[in-house]
Structure 1
Amino acid sequence: MIKEITVEELKEKIDNKEDFQLIDVRETFEYDTSNLDGLNIPLAGILIEADKIAQDKPVIIHCRSGKRSAAAVMQLEQQLGLTNLYNLKGGILAWQEAFDPEMPVY
């Protein structure tokens, strides 16, 4: 069972300037449309680029709706044994709905 956080919890972490890493596993063109300032590593390359993922702090992974990021968390946990990963529930769509209705989401 993967760990999840809500967009409200993410916003709290950002507002409190907590130390964590945000990774966006959408495709580059989606990231270019709008993003939450995370590091863009498309899902297909997540294991190849795993060295970019912090191991010493919480890592929150998100996509458009939460499906791809959940897959990324599972791959990283199963293949690399990482335990500091959280899936953003509902993805950038949930963020848009909660905090930024004007945000364009591909």
Structure 2
Amino acid sequence: MQKPKPVDVTAVVAIGALAGSTVVNLAEHDVSAIRILIVALSMLSVGGILLAQIAKDMTTELYQCPTKDCRVEIRATRNHSPERLAALRDMATDHTRHGSTAS
């Protein structure tokens, strides 16, 4: 398992703090415990999903064909070697390599 990065820890703390302050605010307004629980779990769940999506986007390269109306795109994680990423980029951006089959 990887050691968490400071940005990940900060994001989790921010999500927890926002959910916690919302819970306190709801409790001060006499909202029922079940509703507070539902809101808190929803906020934590959505926050976790958002954090996972941001992390995925930060570690993924997207290569698209520049030819108009060609929808070829390749998504690759950055943990590949630079040579492999270059080969994937070349494959996606060279329309002659995928031309008529993907248009």
Query: Which TM class, normalised by the smaller chain length?
Result: under 0.3
More RCO (CA 8 Å, sep 6+): 1
Greater share of residues in strand:
1
Question: How does the TM-score come out when normalised to structure 1?
Answer: 0.26
Greater share of residues in helix:
2
Question: How does the TM-score come out when normalised to structure 2?
Answer: 0.26
